[in-house]
């Protein structure tokens, strides 16, 4: 993430959860056309009303999209050049490292209920698709599979109509290591992070990214 986003996490002890519309992918939260066509064919064979699939599809897409907020992570074991390039654009970026148990425990003081799920990547040449509570929000097209995404999700009330929400977290549970941009020394980023760590009495380790590429 860019430095200003990390500063907000540190200074507010919150994580930013956004609506689907803020994530960029125009097919986000939608049932793939290949699956929709297979559903129509299946219902036709079963002799069901032709509108049943359309009503089901509309509900499975619209309700989660309008009533769920998301915080995105990657399950990659190693740093990703692509993710640094995409999400830390100002050369003062940081990457937070945690694990699943610490991520869960970091929400212990949150009043919201948090669900955590691994994103599945849909391949139209092998159209496997499961339906569950968050299936449309935990399925993306195969060309995003480099992200190895894990999502934290929370429901919002029918009357809230929010595009984003900041949710309380325990930073000492959440932050295991903080990786600094390859340009950290040049821009004095390490001194900023060390100051914030001491100021907020946090325990995370500070590491510099091992990626050394001028394209960043």
- Give the predicted TM-score (pTM) of the model: 0.86
Which residues lie below 8 Å from residue 35, measured CB to CB, with a gap of 6+?
122, 127, 129
Digit-coded pLDDT (tens) for 72-126: 999 998 889 999 988 887 778 899 999 999 999 999 999 999 999 999 999 988 8
Identify each DSSP E strand in 75-134 by its residue range.
Answer: 94-97, 115-118, 120-122
Percent of the chain with pLDDT over 70: 96
103 touches 116 (CB < 8 A): yes
pLDDT at 28 over 90: no
190 touches 106 (CB < 8 A): no
**Gap between the Cα atoms of 164 and 22, Å rounded:** 9
The pLDDT value given to residue 69: 95
- Kindly indicate the confidence band of residue 1, based on its pLDDT and cuts at 50, 70 and 90: very high
pLDDT at 132 over 90: no
Which residues lie below 8 Å from residue 87, measured CB to CB, with a gap of 6+?
1, 2, 93
């Amino acid at each position: 993430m860019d430095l200003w986003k990390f500063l907000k996490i540190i200074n507010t002890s919150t994580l930013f959860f956004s609506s689907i519309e803020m994530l960029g992918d125009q097919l986000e939260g939608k049932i793939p056309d290949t699956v929709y066509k297979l559903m129509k064919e299946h219902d036709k064979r079963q002799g069901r009303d032709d509108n049943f699939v359309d009503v089901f599809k509309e509900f499975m897409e619209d309700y989660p999209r309008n009533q769920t907020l998301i915080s995105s992570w990657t399950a990659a074991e190693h740093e990703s050049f692509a993710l640094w390039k995409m999400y830390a654009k100002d050369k003062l970026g940081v990457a937070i490292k945690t694990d699943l148990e610490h991520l869960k425990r970091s929400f212990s003081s949150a009043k919201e209920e948090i669900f955590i799920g691994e994103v599945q990547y849909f391949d139209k040449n092998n159209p496997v698709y499961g339906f569950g509570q968050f299936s449309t929000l935990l399925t993306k097209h195969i060309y995003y599979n480099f992200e190895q995404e894990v999502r934290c999700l929370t429901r919002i009330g029918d009357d809230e109509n929010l595009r984003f929400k900041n949710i309380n977290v325990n930073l000492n549970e959440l932050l295991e290591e903080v990786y600094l941009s390859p340009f950290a020394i040049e821009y004095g980023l390490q001194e900023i992070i060390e100051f914030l760590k001491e100021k907020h009495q946090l325990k995370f380790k500070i590491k510099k990214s091992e990626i050394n590429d001028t394209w960043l």
